[in-house]
Structure 1
Amino acid sequence: MLNKKECRKEALCRRSGMTMEERTDAGRRIAGLLFADSAYRNAERILIYASYRDEVPTYEIMEQAWRDGKQVFCPKIEDSPEPETTAGGKKKTMTFYRVFCRDELVKGYQGIPEPGITEGRSWEGSSGKDLILMPGTAFDRERRRLGYGGGFYDQFLQNACSAVKIAVCFNCQVLPELPEEETDVRPDRILTEEGWI
Protein backbone atom coordinates (compact mmCIF):
# COMPACT_ATOMS: atom_id res chain seq x y z
CA MET A 1 0.00 0.00 0.00
CA LEU A 2 1.17 3.53 -0.75
CA ASN A 3 1.90 5.85 2.18
CA LYS A 4 -0.11 9.04 2.74
CA LYS A 5 2.32 11.26 0.85
CA GLU A 6 2.30 8.93 -2.17
CA CYS A 7 -1.50 8.65 -2.13
CA ARG A 8 -1.89 12.42 -2.05
CA LYS A 9 0.55 12.83 -4.92
CA GLU A 10 -1.20 10.17 -7.03
CA ALA A 11 -4.71 11.56 -6.47
CA LEU A 12 -3.70 15.19 -6.98
CA CYS A 13 -1.86 14.28 -10.17
CA ARG A 14 -5.01 12.61 -11.47
CA ARG A 15 -7.13 15.62 -10.47
CA SER A 16 -4.81 18.15 -12.09
CA GLY A 17 -4.89 16.05 -15.27
CA MET A 18 -8.59 16.81 -15.77
CA THR A 19 -9.44 19.48 -18.33
CA MET A 20 -11.39 22.58 -17.27
CA GLU A 21 -14.36 21.25 -19.23
CA GLU A 22 -14.20 17.89 -17.46
CA ARG A 23 -14.00 19.59 -14.04
CA THR A 24 -16.90 21.90 -14.83
CA ASP A 25 -19.09 19.07 -16.09
CA ALA A 26 -18.23 16.82 -13.14
CA GLY A 27 -18.85 19.69 -10.71
CA ARG A 28 -22.33 20.24 -12.14
CA ARG A 29 -23.14 16.54 -11.86
CA ILE A 30 -21.95 16.49 -8.24
CA ALA A 31 -24.08 19.56 -7.42
CA GLY A 32 -27.14 18.00 -9.07
CA LEU A 33 -26.78 14.78 -7.07
CA LEU A 34 -26.33 16.75 -3.87
CA PHE A 35 -29.39 18.96 -4.42
CA ALA A 36 -31.55 15.86 -4.99
CA ASP A 37 -30.41 14.26 -1.73
CA SER A 38 -32.30 14.47 1.58
CA ALA A 39 -29.11 15.43 3.45
CA TYR A 40 -29.07 18.70 1.51
CA ARG A 41 -32.84 19.23 1.50
CA ASN A 42 -33.15 18.72 5.27
CA ALA A 43 -30.13 20.83 6.20
CA GLU A 44 -30.69 24.27 7.69
CA ARG A 45 -26.99 25.12 7.86
CA ILE A 46 -24.35 24.18 5.28
CA LEU A 47 -20.70 24.18 6.31
CA ILE A 48 -18.81 24.24 3.03
CA TYR A 49 -15.28 24.91 1.84
CA ALA A 50 -14.64 27.67 -0.70
CA SER A 51 -13.16 25.81 -3.67
CA TYR A 52 -9.61 26.65 -4.64
CA ARG A 53 -7.67 25.84 -7.79
CA ASP A 54 -8.80 22.49 -9.22
CA GLU A 55 -10.97 21.28 -6.31
CA VAL A 56 -14.60 20.30 -6.87
CA PRO A 57 -16.27 23.71 -7.39
CA THR A 58 -18.55 24.82 -4.55
CA TYR A 59 -19.73 28.31 -5.48
CA GLU A 60 -22.77 27.02 -7.40
CA ILE A 61 -23.69 24.98 -4.31
CA MET A 62 -23.37 28.06 -2.09
CA GLU A 63 -25.51 30.15 -4.43
CA GLN A 64 -28.26 27.51 -4.46
CA ALA A 65 -28.11 27.18 -0.66
CA TRP A 66 -28.61 30.94 -0.28
CA ARG A 67 -31.54 30.81 -2.70
CA ASP A 68 -33.00 27.94 -0.69
CA GLY A 69 -32.85 30.00 2.50
CA LYS A 70 -30.08 27.98 4.14
CA GLN A 71 -27.33 29.46 6.28
CA VAL A 72 -23.89 29.06 4.69
CA PHE A 73 -20.68 28.83 6.71
CA CYS A 74 -17.12 28.69 5.34
CA PRO A 75 -13.89 27.78 7.12
CA LYS A 76 -11.13 30.13 8.20
CA ILE A 77 -7.71 29.02 9.43
CA GLU A 78 -6.53 31.17 12.31
CA ASP A 79 -4.27 31.13 15.35
CA SER A 80 -5.51 28.83 18.08
CA PRO A 81 -6.20 30.29 21.54
CA GLU A 82 -4.18 27.34 22.90
CA PRO A 83 -0.54 27.86 24.00
CA GLU A 84 2.22 27.84 21.41
CA THR A 85 3.56 24.51 20.19
CA THR A 86 6.83 23.06 21.51
CA ALA A 87 8.53 24.28 18.33
CA GLY A 88 7.60 27.83 19.34
CA GLY A 89 5.10 28.40 16.54
CA LYS A 90 1.45 29.34 16.92
CA LYS A 91 -0.93 26.41 16.60
CA LYS A 92 -3.57 26.86 13.90
CA THR A 93 -7.23 25.95 14.12
CA MET A 94 -10.19 25.95 11.72
CA THR A 95 -13.39 27.84 12.55
CA PHE A 96 -16.47 28.17 10.36
CA TYR A 97 -18.08 31.60 9.94
CA ARG A 98 -21.37 32.51 8.31
CA VAL A 99 -21.18 34.20 4.91
CA PHE A 100 -24.09 35.94 3.20
CA CYS A 101 -22.60 36.27 -0.28
CA ARG A 102 -19.54 35.29 -2.26
CA ASP A 103 -18.08 38.81 -2.03
CA GLU A 104 -17.48 38.26 1.70
CA LEU A 105 -14.75 35.72 0.92
CA VAL A 106 -11.20 37.04 0.80
CA LYS A 107 -7.77 35.49 0.19
CA GLY A 108 -6.62 33.85 3.41
CA TYR A 109 -4.40 31.02 4.67
CA GLN A 110 -2.16 29.80 1.82
CA GLY A 111 -4.23 31.87 -0.62
CA ILE A 112 -7.45 29.94 0.03
CA PRO A 113 -10.70 32.00 0.04
CA GLU A 114 -12.13 32.38 3.54
CA PRO A 115 -14.60 34.65 5.38
CA GLY A 116 -13.39 38.22 5.73
CA ILE A 117 -16.08 39.18 8.27
CA THR A 118 -16.07 37.03 11.41
CA GLU A 119 -17.37 38.94 14.42
CA GLY A 120 -20.58 37.38 15.74
CA ARG A 121 -20.75 34.91 12.87
CA SER A 122 -19.06 31.75 14.13
CA TRP A 123 -20.73 28.35 13.92
CA GLU A 124 -21.58 27.40 17.48
CA GLY A 125 -21.96 23.63 17.44
CA SER A 126 -24.19 21.19 15.64
CA SER A 127 -27.95 21.55 15.79
CA GLY A 128 -28.64 18.19 14.16
CA LYS A 129 -29.66 19.93 10.92
CA ASP A 130 -26.15 20.73 9.75
CA LEU A 131 -24.46 19.43 6.62
CA ILE A 132 -20.68 19.55 6.31
CA LEU A 133 -19.23 19.39 2.79
CA MET A 134 -15.51 18.77 2.93
CA PRO A 135 -12.68 18.56 0.41
CA GLY A 136 -9.76 16.17 0.38
CA THR A 137 -6.95 14.89 -1.76
CA ALA A 138 -7.67 11.15 -1.88
CA PHE A 139 -10.43 8.76 -0.85
CA ASP A 140 -11.28 5.07 -1.00
CA ARG A 141 -14.49 3.02 -1.06
CA GLU A 142 -14.30 2.38 2.69
CA ARG A 143 -14.74 6.16 3.10
CA ARG A 144 -11.19 6.76 4.22
CA ARG A 145 -10.12 10.32 3.48
CA LEU A 146 -6.80 12.09 3.13
CA GLY A 147 -6.82 15.85 3.55
CA TYR A 148 -4.00 18.21 2.74
CA GLY A 149 -1.94 17.25 5.79
CA GLY A 150 -2.92 19.96 8.29
CA GLY A 151 -5.44 17.82 10.19
CA PHE A 152 -7.89 20.73 10.36
CA TYR A 153 -10.99 18.78 9.32
CA ASP A 154 -10.19 15.74 11.48
CA GLN A 155 -9.85 18.03 14.49
CA PHE A 156 -13.03 19.95 13.66
CA LEU A 157 -15.14 16.85 12.92
CA GLN A 158 -14.50 15.38 16.35
CA ASN A 159 -16.67 18.21 17.74
CA ALA A 160 -19.35 18.04 15.02
CA CYS A 161 -20.56 14.51 15.57
CA SER A 162 -24.29 15.13 14.96
CA ALA A 163 -23.78 16.86 11.60
CA VAL A 164 -24.04 14.94 8.34
CA LYS A 165 -20.52 14.72 6.93
CA ILE A 166 -20.14 14.43 3.15
CA ALA A 167 -16.83 14.56 1.30
CA VAL A 168 -16.94 15.68 -2.33
CA CYS A 169 -14.30 14.73 -4.88
CA PHE A 170 -13.82 13.77 -8.49
CA ASN A 171 -14.02 10.06 -9.23
CA CYS A 172 -10.36 10.04 -10.28
CA GLN A 173 -9.41 10.84 -6.66
CA VAL A 174 -10.82 7.53 -5.40
CA LEU A 175 -7.94 5.11 -4.91
CA PRO A 176 -8.09 1.35 -4.14
CA GLU A 177 -7.02 1.72 -0.49
CA LEU A 178 -5.69 4.45 1.79
CA PRO A 179 -3.68 4.29 4.99
CA GLU A 180 -5.53 5.50 8.08
CA GLU A 181 -4.54 6.80 11.50
CA GLU A 182 -6.49 6.69 14.73
CA THR A 183 -7.18 10.43 14.61
CA ASP A 184 -8.63 10.32 11.06
CA VAL A 185 -12.39 10.88 10.83
CA ARG A 186 -14.28 9.23 7.98
CA PRO A 187 -17.12 11.12 6.29
CA ASP A 188 -20.57 9.53 6.40
CA ARG A 189 -20.60 9.44 2.61
CA ILE A 190 -18.49 10.48 -0.37
CA LEU A 191 -20.01 12.12 -3.43
CA THR A 192 -18.38 12.01 -6.88
CA GLU A 193 -19.73 12.73 -10.36
CA GLU A 194 -20.31 8.96 -10.68
CA GLY A 195 -22.55 8.82 -7.57
CA TRP A 196 -22.44 8.10 -3.85
CA ILE A 197 -20.00 5.99 -1.85
Structure 2
Amino acid sequence: MAAVPQEGVIRTRIGPCARRAQRAANGNDAREWGGEACPVGGGAGLRGLLTLPSSRHSRADLRAASVSAPSEQSRHPPGVAMASAVRAAKRALRNEVKAALGAMAPEERGRQQLELTRRVISHPRFLAARRFGIYLSLSDEPDTSAILESAFLRGTACFVPRYAHGAPAGLAGSPALADSSKSPAAAAPPPDMELLRVASMEDVLSLPLTPWRIPQPAMDDDSREDAIQGGGLDLLIVPGLAFSRDGRRLGRGKGFYDRFLCRLRSAARGSALAPHPYTLAIAFSMQIHEDIPTEHVDELIDEVLTV
Protein backbone atom coordinates (compact mmCIF):
# COMPACT_ATOMS: atom_id res chain seq x y z
CA MET A 1 0.00 0.00 0.00
CA ALA A 2 1.34 3.40 -0.89
CA ALA A 3 0.52 6.72 0.73
CA VAL A 4 -0.53 9.63 -1.46
CA PRO A 5 2.25 12.25 -1.28
CA GLN A 6 0.07 15.14 -0.10
CA GLU A 7 1.10 17.33 2.81
CA GLY A 8 -0.76 16.58 6.02
CA VAL A 9 -2.75 13.73 4.54
CA ILE A 10 -1.96 10.05 4.80
CA ARG A 11 -4.36 8.13 2.62
CA THR A 12 -4.67 4.41 2.07
CA ARG A 13 -6.18 3.38 -1.24
CA ILE A 14 -7.32 -0.08 -0.26
CA GLY A 15 -10.63 -1.81 -0.78
CA PRO A 16 -12.34 -4.57 1.23
CA CYS A 17 -10.72 -7.37 -0.78
CA ALA A 18 -7.28 -5.86 -0.35
CA ARG A 19 -7.93 -5.45 3.36
CA ARG A 20 -8.90 -9.10 3.66
CA ALA A 21 -5.94 -10.24 1.62
CA GLN A 22 -3.53 -8.16 3.68
CA ARG A 23 -4.79 -9.57 6.96
CA ALA A 24 -5.04 -13.15 5.81
CA ALA A 25 -1.98 -13.31 3.55
CA ASN A 26 -0.15 -16.65 3.61
CA GLY A 27 -2.94 -18.47 5.44
CA ASN A 28 -4.59 -21.68 4.20
CA ASP A 29 -7.99 -21.37 5.76
CA ALA A 30 -10.93 -18.99 5.58
CA ARG A 31 -10.52 -16.04 7.93
CA GLU A 32 -13.49 -14.17 9.32
CA TRP A 33 -13.58 -10.50 8.29
CA GLY A 34 -16.52 -8.29 9.09
CA GLY A 35 -18.90 -11.20 9.51
CA GLU A 36 -18.11 -13.02 6.25
CA ALA A 37 -15.63 -15.76 5.46
CA CYS A 38 -12.65 -14.71 3.40
CA PRO A 39 -10.98 -17.74 1.76
CA VAL A 40 -7.37 -17.07 0.93
CA GLY A 41 -4.55 -19.17 -0.50
CA GLY A 42 -0.85 -19.43 0.21
CA GLY A 43 1.34 -20.91 2.87
CA ALA A 44 0.65 -21.23 6.55
CA GLY A 45 2.78 -18.30 7.68
CA LEU A 46 1.87 -16.04 10.58
CA ARG A 47 1.74 -12.77 8.65
CA GLY A 48 -2.00 -13.15 8.15
CA LEU A 49 -2.50 -13.28 11.89
CA LEU A 50 -0.06 -10.69 13.17
CA THR A 51 1.98 -7.79 11.88
CA LEU A 52 5.15 -7.33 13.88
CA PRO A 53 6.66 -3.85 14.20
CA SER A 54 10.08 -3.16 12.77
CA SER A 55 10.87 0.12 14.53
CA ARG A 56 13.94 0.20 16.77
CA HIS A 57 12.13 0.63 20.06
CA SER A 58 9.66 -2.17 19.27
CA ARG A 59 12.37 -4.63 18.21
CA ALA A 60 14.22 -3.89 21.44
CA ASP A 61 11.06 -4.55 23.44
CA LEU A 62 10.55 -7.89 21.69
CA ARG A 63 14.21 -8.89 22.18
CA ALA A 64 13.96 -8.06 25.88
CA ALA A 65 10.80 -10.13 26.18
CA SER A 66 12.46 -13.13 24.51
CA VAL A 67 15.55 -12.87 26.73
CA SER A 68 13.59 -12.57 29.96
CA ALA A 69 11.34 -15.52 29.18
CA PRO A 70 13.35 -18.01 27.07
CA SER A 71 11.08 -20.93 27.92
CA GLU A 72 7.88 -19.36 26.57
CA GLN A 73 8.26 -20.96 23.14
CA SER A 74 8.55 -24.39 24.72
CA ARG A 75 5.42 -23.85 26.80
CA HIS A 76 3.23 -22.23 24.14
CA PRO A 77 2.66 -22.66 20.40
CA PRO A 78 4.55 -20.13 18.25
CA GLY A 79 1.35 -18.22 17.39
CA VAL A 80 0.54 -17.68 21.07
CA ALA A 81 4.07 -16.50 21.83
CA MET A 82 3.99 -14.10 18.89
CA ALA A 83 0.58 -12.72 19.92
CA SER A 84 1.97 -12.05 23.40
CA ALA A 85 4.97 -10.28 21.88
CA VAL A 86 2.75 -8.06 19.72
CA ARG A 87 0.61 -7.11 22.71
CA ALA A 88 3.77 -6.23 24.65
CA ALA A 89 4.91 -4.05 21.74
CA LYS A 90 1.51 -2.34 21.72
CA ARG A 91 1.79 -1.55 25.43
CA ALA A 92 5.27 -0.10 24.93
CA LEU A 93 4.13 2.11 22.06
CA ARG A 94 1.09 3.31 24.00
CA ASN A 95 3.35 4.39 26.84
CA GLU A 96 5.70 6.15 24.42
CA VAL A 97 2.89 8.07 22.69
CA LYS A 98 1.21 9.04 25.97
CA ALA A 99 4.51 10.44 27.22
CA ALA A 100 4.99 12.43 24.01
CA LEU A 101 1.47 13.83 24.20
CA GLY A 102 1.99 14.79 27.83
CA ALA A 103 5.17 16.67 26.95
CA MET A 104 3.55 18.62 24.10
CA ALA A 105 3.79 22.39 24.61
CA PRO A 106 0.38 24.11 24.90
CA GLU A 107 1.24 26.54 22.08
CA GLU A 108 2.13 23.71 19.72
CA ARG A 109 -0.96 21.75 20.71
CA GLY A 110 -3.11 24.77 19.93
CA ARG A 111 -1.44 25.32 16.56
CA GLN A 112 -1.86 21.70 15.49
CA GLN A 113 -5.42 21.61 16.85
CA LEU A 114 -6.52 24.55 14.68
CA GLU A 115 -4.96 22.98 11.58
CA LEU A 116 -6.55 19.58 12.22
CA THR A 117 -9.98 21.17 12.67
CA ARG A 118 -9.53 23.16 9.46
CA ARG A 119 -8.55 20.04 7.51
CA VAL A 120 -11.57 18.09 8.70
CA ILE A 121 -14.25 20.72 8.15
CA SER A 122 -12.95 21.42 4.64
CA HIS A 123 -12.62 17.74 3.72
CA PRO A 124 -14.88 16.61 0.82
CA ARG A 125 -16.11 13.60 2.79
CA PHE A 126 -17.14 15.83 5.68
CA LEU A 127 -18.88 18.30 3.40
CA ALA A 128 -20.81 15.50 1.67
CA ALA A 129 -21.72 13.48 4.78
CA ARG A 130 -25.36 13.22 5.76
CA ARG A 131 -24.79 10.83 8.69
CA PHE A 132 -21.65 11.48 10.72
CA GLY A 133 -20.11 9.71 13.71
CA ILE A 134 -17.49 11.27 15.96
CA TYR A 135 -15.97 10.63 19.38
CA LEU A 136 -16.14 13.12 22.23
CA SER A 137 -12.47 13.72 22.88
CA LEU A 138 -10.43 13.01 25.99
CA SER A 139 -7.90 15.53 27.29
CA ASP A 140 -4.97 13.91 25.45
CA GLU A 141 -6.79 13.70 22.09
CA PRO A 142 -7.35 16.31 19.39
CA ASP A 143 -10.43 18.29 20.44
CA THR A 144 -13.46 17.34 18.34
CA SER A 145 -15.95 19.91 19.66
CA ALA A 146 -15.46 22.45 16.85
CA ILE A 147 -15.80 19.69 14.24
CA LEU A 148 -19.04 18.51 15.82
CA GLU A 149 -20.40 22.05 15.99
CA SER A 150 -19.61 22.57 12.30
CA ALA A 151 -21.49 19.38 11.44
CA PHE A 152 -24.55 20.59 13.33
CA LEU A 153 -24.44 23.93 11.51
CA ARG A 154 -24.48 22.02 8.21
CA GLY A 155 -27.58 20.08 9.25
CA THR A 156 -25.71 16.75 9.38
CA ALA A 157 -27.15 13.95 11.51
CA CYS A 158 -24.53 13.45 14.25
CA PHE A 159 -23.83 10.39 16.38
CA VAL A 160 -21.59 10.01 19.44
CA PRO A 161 -20.46 6.93 21.42
CA ARG A 162 -22.12 5.35 24.39
CA TYR A 163 -19.87 2.85 26.12
CA ALA A 164 -21.66 0.07 27.94
CA HIS A 165 -19.36 0.43 30.97
CA GLY A 166 -19.09 4.21 30.89
CA ALA A 167 -15.46 4.47 29.77
CA PRO A 168 -13.25 3.48 26.88
CA ALA A 169 -10.42 1.11 27.65
CA GLY A 170 -7.13 2.51 28.85
CA LEU A 171 -8.56 4.82 31.52
CA ALA A 172 -7.76 4.10 35.14
CA GLY A 173 -10.52 2.01 36.68
CA SER A 174 -12.26 1.14 33.43
CA PRO A 175 -13.38 -2.49 33.38
CA ALA A 176 -11.31 -4.96 31.41
CA LEU A 177 -12.78 -7.20 28.76
CA ALA A 178 -11.53 -10.67 27.97
CA ASP A 179 -9.09 -10.79 25.07
CA SER A 180 -11.43 -13.11 23.18
CA SER A 181 -14.12 -10.42 23.19
CA LYS A 182 -12.07 -8.39 20.71
CA SER A 183 -12.51 -10.90 17.92
CA PRO A 184 -15.24 -9.90 15.42
CA ALA A 185 -15.87 -13.58 14.80
CA ALA A 186 -16.70 -14.29 18.45
CA ALA A 187 -20.27 -14.93 19.52
CA ALA A 188 -21.78 -11.45 19.71
CA PRO A 189 -22.80 -10.26 23.20
CA PRO A 190 -24.76 -7.01 23.53
CA PRO A 191 -22.60 -4.29 21.92
CA ASP A 192 -20.13 -2.68 24.32
CA MET A 193 -20.26 0.54 22.28
CA GLU A 194 -23.03 2.17 20.28
CA LEU A 195 -23.18 5.45 18.39
CA LEU A 196 -26.36 7.35 19.23
CA ARG A 197 -27.79 10.49 17.68
CA VAL A 198 -27.43 13.86 19.37
CA ALA A 199 -29.52 16.83 18.29
CA SER A 200 -27.31 19.87 18.95
CA MET A 201 -24.31 21.18 20.87
CA GLU A 202 -26.70 22.02 23.68
CA ASP A 203 -27.79 18.39 23.71
CA VAL A 204 -24.14 17.26 23.84
CA LEU A 205 -23.32 19.65 26.68
CA SER A 206 -26.29 18.34 28.66
CA LEU A 207 -25.25 14.68 28.42
CA PRO A 208 -24.55 13.06 31.80
CA LEU A 209 -20.92 12.47 32.72
CA THR A 210 -19.58 9.05 33.55
CA PRO A 211 -17.28 8.59 36.57
CA TRP A 212 -14.43 9.10 34.08
CA ARG A 213 -15.82 12.55 33.13
CA ILE A 214 -16.87 11.40 29.66
CA PRO A 215 -20.20 12.79 28.41
CA GLN A 216 -22.41 10.19 26.82
CA PRO A 217 -26.13 9.39 26.45
CA ALA A 218 -27.57 7.88 29.61
CA MET A 219 -27.69 4.09 29.75
CA ASP A 220 -31.45 4.15 30.30
CA ASP A 221 -32.07 6.56 27.40
CA ASP A 222 -33.66 4.41 24.69
CA SER A 223 -35.14 7.32 22.75
CA ARG A 224 -32.08 8.06 20.62
CA GLU A 225 -31.52 6.73 17.12
CA ASP A 226 -28.83 4.07 16.82
CA ALA A 227 -26.41 4.81 13.96
CA ILE A 228 -26.33 1.26 12.62
CA GLN A 229 -30.01 0.45 13.04
CA GLY A 230 -31.04 3.82 11.64
CA GLY A 231 -29.20 3.52 8.34
CA GLY A 232 -25.45 3.49 8.90
CA LEU A 233 -22.91 6.29 8.58
CA ASP A 234 -21.31 8.09 5.65
CA LEU A 235 -18.31 9.17 7.71
CA LEU A 236 -16.82 8.13 11.03
CA ILE A 237 -13.93 9.86 12.79
CA VAL A 238 -12.08 7.21 14.76
CA PRO A 239 -9.90 7.94 17.79
CA GLY A 240 -6.55 6.35 18.48
CA LEU A 241 -3.22 6.83 20.20
CA ALA A 242 -1.05 6.21 17.13
CA PHE A 243 -1.44 5.67 13.40
CA SER A 244 0.82 4.42 10.62
CA ARG A 245 1.15 5.62 7.05
CA ASP A 246 -0.73 2.61 5.71
CA GLY A 247 -3.81 3.10 7.87
CA ARG A 248 -2.99 0.93 10.87
CA ARG A 249 -4.25 2.18 14.19
CA LEU A 250 -3.24 1.71 17.82
CA GLY A 251 -6.21 2.21 20.12
CA ARG A 252 -6.47 2.05 23.88
CA GLY A 253 -6.47 -1.70 24.06
CA LYS A 254 -9.92 -3.27 24.15
CA GLY A 255 -11.09 -3.14 20.55
CA PHE A 256 -14.31 -1.13 20.96
CA TYR A 257 -13.90 0.62 17.61
CA ASP A 258 -12.61 -2.51 15.85
CA ARG A 259 -15.79 -4.37 16.79
CA PHE A 260 -18.00 -1.36 15.99
CA LEU A 261 -16.40 -0.92 12.56
CA CYS A 262 -16.89 -4.61 11.84
CA ARG A 263 -20.60 -4.30 12.66
CA LEU A 264 -20.95 -1.04 10.72
CA ARG A 265 -19.31 -2.39 7.57
CA SER A 266 -21.26 -5.65 7.77
CA ALA A 267 -24.52 -3.69 8.00
CA ALA A 268 -23.53 -1.61 4.95
CA ARG A 269 -22.79 -4.73 2.90
CA GLY A 270 -26.10 -6.26 3.90
CA SER A 271 -28.25 -3.26 2.96
CA ALA A 272 -28.88 -1.58 -0.38
CA LEU A 273 -29.66 1.67 1.44
CA ALA A 274 -26.89 1.97 4.04
CA PRO A 275 -23.85 3.96 2.87
CA HIS A 276 -20.37 2.49 2.78
CA PRO A 277 -18.71 4.04 5.84
CA TYR A 278 -15.55 6.07 5.26
CA THR A 279 -13.19 6.30 8.22
CA LEU A 280 -11.02 9.29 9.08
CA ALA A 281 -8.52 9.72 11.89
CA ILE A 282 -7.01 12.98 13.12
CA ALA A 283 -3.63 12.91 14.79
CA PHE A 284 -1.03 15.22 16.24
CA SER A 285 2.35 14.89 14.54
CA MET A 286 3.85 12.75 17.31
CA GLN A 287 1.04 10.22 16.92
CA ILE A 288 2.26 9.19 13.46
CA HIS A 289 4.61 6.19 13.61
CA GLU A 290 6.32 4.26 10.86
CA ASP A 291 5.13 0.90 12.17
CA ILE A 292 2.19 -0.05 14.34
CA PRO A 293 2.02 -3.57 15.82
CA THR A 294 -1.28 -5.13 14.77
CA GLU A 295 -3.32 -8.31 15.01
CA HIS A 296 -5.73 -9.72 12.46
CA VAL A 297 -8.75 -8.21 14.22
CA ASP A 298 -7.43 -4.64 13.99
CA GLU A 299 -9.46 -2.62 11.48
CA LEU A 300 -7.68 -0.30 9.06
CA ILE A 301 -8.47 3.41 8.71
CA ASP A 302 -9.22 4.80 5.24
CA GLU A 303 -7.43 8.12 5.76
CA VAL A 304 -5.34 9.86 8.41
CA LEU A 305 -5.20 13.64 8.68
CA THR A 306 -2.20 15.09 10.47
CA VAL A 307 -0.11 18.26 10.60
- TM-score class, shorter-chain normalisation, is 0.7 to 0.9
- Paired with 1:51 and 1:128, the residues of 2 have a C-alpha distance of 22
What TM-score, normalized to structure 1? 0.85
- Cα drift, residue 76 of structure 1: 0.8
Aligned to 1:70: 156
Which is further off, 13-22 or 156-165? Answer: 13-22
- Paired with 1:128 and 1:188, the residues of 2 have a C-alpha distance of 17
- Paired with 1:127 and 1:39, the residues of 2 have a C-alpha distance of 17
> Which structure has the greater CA radius of gyration?
2
Structure 1 residues 35-114: aligned runs within 5 Å: 35-78=121-164, 93-100=192-199, 101=201, 102-108=204-210, 110-114=212-216
- Paired with 2:264 and 2:156, the residues of 1 have a C-alpha distance of 18
1:6-47 per-position Cα deviation (integer Å, ceiling 9, x unaligned): 111111111121122322221111111112211101101110
Structure 1 residues 135-174: aligned runs within 5 Å: 135-161=239-265, 162-174=276-288
The runs of 5 or more residues in structure 1 that have no matched partner are: 80-84
Instruction: Mark the CA change 1:128 to 1:156 in structure 2 (over 3 Å): closer, same or farther.
Output: closer
- Paired with 1:110 and 1:91, the residues of 2 have a C-alpha distance of 22
- Asked whether the equivalents of residues 248 and 294 of structure 2 are also in contact (C-alpha less than 8 Å), the reply is yes
The runs of 5 or more residues in structure 2 that have no matched partner are: 1-52, 59-88, 166-176, 179-188, 266-275
Which is further off, 9-18 or 66-75? Answer: 9-18
Aligned to 1:5: 91
- Cα drift, residue 136 of structure 1: 0.5
Secondary structure, aligned partner of 1:76: strand
- Cα drift, residue 125 of structure 1: 4.6
Letter in 1 for 2:297: T
Which is further off, 150-159 or 96-105? Answer: 96-105
Secondary structure, aligned partner of 1:115: coil
- Asked whether the equivalents of residues 154 and 184 of structure 1 are also in contact (C-alpha less than 8 Å), the reply is yes
- Cα drift, residue 118 of structure 1: 4.6
Match of 1:115 among 217, 242, 254: 217
Secondary structure, aligned partner of 1:107: coil
- Paired with 2:232 and 2:196, the residues of 1 have a C-alpha distance of 18
Letter in 1 for 2:192: T
- Paired with 1:37 and 1:191, the residues of 2 have a C-alpha distance of 10
- Paired with 1:69 and 1:139, the residues of 2 have a C-alpha distance of 30
Letter in 2 for 1:159: R
Aligned residues with identical type, % of pairs: 30
Which is further off, 126-135 or 28-37? Answer: 126-135
- Size of the aligned set, in residue pairs, is 185
What TM-score, normalized to structure 2? 0.56
> Over aligned residues, Cα RMSD in angstroms?
2.2
- Asked whether the equivalents of residues 77 and 93 of structure 1 are also in contact (C-alpha less than 8 Å), the reply is yes
Matched, 1:132 2:236: yes
Structure number with the higher helix fraction is 2
Aligned to 1:186: 300
Instruction: Mark the CA change 1:74 to 1:179 in structure 2 (over 3 Å): closer, same or farther.
Output: same
- Cα drift, residue 141 of structure 1: 0.9
